[in-house]
Chain A
Amino acid sequence: MSLQLKLNWSASSFCLQLELKLDNNWIGIYGQSGSGKTSMLKAIAGLQPDAAEHCSFRGELWQQGQYQRSLSSRKALYLAPEALLMPHKTALQHLQLASDWSKSPEDTAQIIQDFELQPLLALYPSQLSSGQQQKLALAQALITRPRLLLLDEALAHLDHQQKTAVLKQLKHYQQQQGFMLLWVSHQMEDLCLYCQEIVWLKQGQLQQQQQLWPLQQGQTFFAI
C-alpha cells in the first residue's frame, strides 16, 4: 500500500473519522464543502497533527500516536486554494529558493519553460493574479521533487485553457518524478478525466472509494 491513513478527529460540530488505503498515483477527492477534504490533506501533510491517528507512506511511518515525522523529511507538499507565497520575493526568487533548499532539485529553467512563467519572473505575488499565483506555487513545489503532492483546489483559479496546459505538464512531471497526487476538486468531470481513483467524502466519513477503469480515464486524458 502506498498511503495508509487513519483519521479520528472531532471539533465542536464536526467529526472526521475514516480509514483509507490508497495505491494509485492520481487520486481525486470529492465531497461537499465541510466534508473534511482539507483536514484530510493537512493531516497527511503533517499540518494538522491532532487529526491523524496513523499515517504511513510507501512503507515509511509518518505518524503514529505521539510520533510525528518532521515536515521537511516527508517531502509532502500541501498546496492551499490561496497560494502561500512570500510577499517580499519575486516569482524567480521563489523558484530559486526552492531549488537551493532542495537536495536534488528539478531543472529550474525547464520548469519555467514548461509552465510558461517567463513573463512573471520579476513580479511579486501581489502583482500576480490568483491563477498565476497557483501556477507559481505548483512550479515551486515541483522543483523540490516532492514524493506526495496534495492539491487543495490548487488549480481552481486557472481558466480552462490554462488548467488543461498545467495538468498536461503535471502529468508529465508525475511520470518523470513518480510522486503520488491527491487532488481535491469540486469539478467532478476534471477528476474523472485525470484520476485513476476517486475518494468521496461525506460529513467526515468515507462515502465511496471508486477505481476508474482505464478506459474511462486514460483514453480521454491522452486525447487532450
Chain B
Amino acid sequence: MLYPAEWQALLLTVKLALLSSFFLLLLTAPLAWWLSRGHSTTRNAINALLTLPLVLPPTVLGFYLVLLLSPDSWFSQLLRLAGIEALAFRFEGLVLASMLYSLPFVVQPLQQGFAQIAQELLDQNRALGANSWQLMAQLIWPLSRPALFSAFILSFAHTLGEFGIVLMIGGNIPGQTQLLSMLIYDQVESLNYARAHLLSGLLLLFSFSVLFWLYQQQRGQQQRGQQQRSQK
C-alpha cells in the first residue's frame, strides 16, 4: 500500500514526534513547576515568551532557526567546539525545531496540572515530616501524571502536523528530514492526488485517533473521581 519512501517518511515523522516530545517534557517540567508556583512579572514575561510559538507564523520561527542553525552562526560555532556539526538540514535540527514549535503545547497543560497541587498541601506534608524526595514520590508525581500524559500526547500530535518550520530548515532529504507532511506537499505539487489522498487520510485518521484517545482517557479520570465521591 505504501511505497518505501512513504514508509520512511512516516517512521521518521513518528520518531521525530516521540523524541522531541520526550525531551521537551524532560526540559520544561521544572520550568512549568516554577511557573505554577505563583505570579510575578518575571513569570509573566517568561510565560509570554513560551507562548510565542503559538501565535507566530512558523516562517518567523523557521527564519530565526535558519540563522541559528547555519554553519557560521555563534550557536553552530559553539556546537563545533563540542564536536557537533551544524544542525541545518539534519534530523537533530528538526528535533530542536519541533521542541520550540511544540513548546506551548507542553508548558500550558503542565502548568495547569501543577497549579492544581496546592502549596498548602505540600507545606502540610512537609510539616508532617516528608522530605523533598518523599513529597515528589508520594504527592507531586502521582498528582501530576495526568498532566504529564496530556502534555506528551498534545506535543506528539502537534509535531505530527509540523510543516512550516520543516519547509524552511529541513531541506526535504529522504531519511533525514523528509516528513510525511513534506511528502504530501510534494505529491500535491506534482499533481499526484491519489498518493496525497492516501497520505493525508492516514495522517488525519491517526491524529484523530490520538486526540480521541486522549479525551477518552481524561473522561475516564473524571469518572473515576466522581465514582469515588458518589460512593459516600
Contacts and interface: CB of A to CB of B under 8 A. Distances in A.
Of the candidates B129, B130, B134, B231, the one having the most CB atoms from chain A within 10 angstroms of its own CB is: B129
A84 B228 CA distance: 18
Given A84-B120, A84-B121, A87-B143, A72 B138 contact: no
User: What bracket does the count of chain B residues touching chain A fall in?
Assistant: 20 to 34
A200 B62 CA distance: 66
Interface string B37-50: 00000000000000
A101 to B, nearest CB: 4
Of the candidates A77, A97, A129, the one having the most CB atoms from chain B within 10 angstroms of its own CB is: A97
B21 to A, nearest CB: 25
B228 A98 contact: no
A71 interface: yes
A97 B144 CA distance: 19
Interface string A69-100: 00110111110100011111100000001101
B126 interface: yes
Contacts of B190: none
B126 A126 contact: no
Nearest to A102: B129
A101 B128 contact: yes
B134 A84 contact: no
Contacts of B127: 45-46, 71-72, 74-78
Contacts of B4: none
Interface in B110-146: 118, 120-121, 123-131, 134, 138-139, 142-143
A186 B121 CA distance: 25
Contacts of A47: 120, 123
A144 B129 contact: yes
Contacts of B128: 77, 97-98, 101-102, 140-141, 144
Interface string A52-64: 0000000000000
Nearest first, the 3 A-B pairs at minimum CB distance are A101-B129, A84-B124, A126-B229
Interface of B: 118, 120-121, 123-131, 134, 138-139, 142-143, 225, 228-229, 231-232
12 contacts: A71-B123, A71-B127, A72-B127, A78-B127, A84-B121, A85-B121, A86-B138, A88-B143, A97-B130, A102-B128, A103-B129, A126-B232
Given A88-B142, A144-B128, 16 more contacts: A75-B127, A84-B118, A85-B121, A86-B138, A86-B139, A87-B143, A89-B138, A97-B128, A98-B129, A101-B128, A101-B131, A124-B228, A127-B231, A127-B232, A129-B232, A144-B129
